Chain A
Amino acid sequence: MSRVKIESLPTNTMCDKRIVSSLVFSFIACLGYVACDLYKLPLFTYYPAVSEFAFGFAKMTESQGPAMYWYGWLCTTTIAATIAGACASLIKLSNGMNNYLAHITWIAPWALLPLLFNSLNYYWTHA
């Protein structure tokens, strides 16, 4: 006789979608943020000294002062992760895969930490 495997929670499709999309959002956002930092992919550049914006990656200029990319990275990452999360909500994963994804999500920032640390090498070696 074959045994029927009874799936544990979540049984509700909406709950399942919510879990998958939020986990994928968080995971892709972590990857995306680090990619934006490493490959200089801000949606826009902000010049705080003169309160001006430029589209995409723009360098510091004499007249505009220092350039900030952090706000732009956050926007790029949010857009990419939202699209990924929305697409992921269409996928039905098993509970085991959901649990695997949950573990990957908390591991991601720790795994990416050396890359972030290395991206700030300028500060560590300048001292």
Chain B
Amino acid sequence: MEFIYSYISVEVFWSILLIIHGLISVALLGGLTHQTLSVLGKRRQRGETILNRFAGVQSSIYTTSVCVLWIFSFFFGGWIYSKYRVAVRIPMEQQGIWITQGLFELKEHLVSLGLFLLPAYYTLWSFDKNSEFEQAKKMLTLTLTTICWYSFLVGHIVNNVRGFGS
């Protein structure tokens, strides 16, 4: 990667990766939230309220996008994590920001579990018409959405600890 640093600084390079990671996460969050609200409110009529419109989507169309976005987000997150371990975590330890670090480590564990749940998630959604998996599929989607929201918020908090570009 050294050749990149002759064009842009190290800080700019990692900031670009962090922004890409963040943008992918936003898309993932949107897709998963749409899908979850859609499966939770299946009996709700399509209506004029913003919630009904948000939930009134065909839930199965998000499945492949969610899997692809989760993998890409995980890839960039995993890449950034090596930099975080040296450039962010050590200063945070020196400043005694332990709870935030713990929440972030928990996020890493949860997104890993989420990654490993993707084959089950994809398969259950592939058999969309098989109603016997309906409840499990709904709960699995809700689990992934919860992980995604938690990770997004904690990632945002950790990013704000030292400020953008630091």
A interface list, Cβ under 8 A from B: 8-10, 15, 18-19, 22-23, 25-27, 29-30, 33, 37, 46, 48-49, 65-66, 68, 70-71, 73-74, 77, 81, 85, 95, 98-99, 102-103, 105-106, 108-110, 112, 116-117, 120, 122-124, 126-127
Asked whether A65 lies within 8 Å of B86 as measured between CB atoms, the reply is yes
B119 within 8 A of partner (CB): yes
B45 within 8 A of partner (CB): no
> Which of B3-11, B29-37, B103-111, B158-166 contacts its partner?
B103-111
CB contact under 8 A between A23 and B123, given known A33-B112, A106-B140, A123-B105: yes
Asked whether A123 lies within 8 Å of B123 as measured between CB atoms, the reply is no
Chain B contact-residue range equals 35 or more
CB A19 to nearest CB in B, in angstroms, measures: 6
B interface list, Cβ under 8 A from A: 78, 81-83, 85-86, 89-90, 96, 98-99, 101-102, 105-106, 108-110, 112-114, 116-124, 126-127, 129-130, 132-133, 135-137, 139-140, 143, 147
Complex: how many Å from CA A103 to CA B124?
11
Asked whether B143 lies within 8 Å of A37 as measured between CB atoms, the reply is no
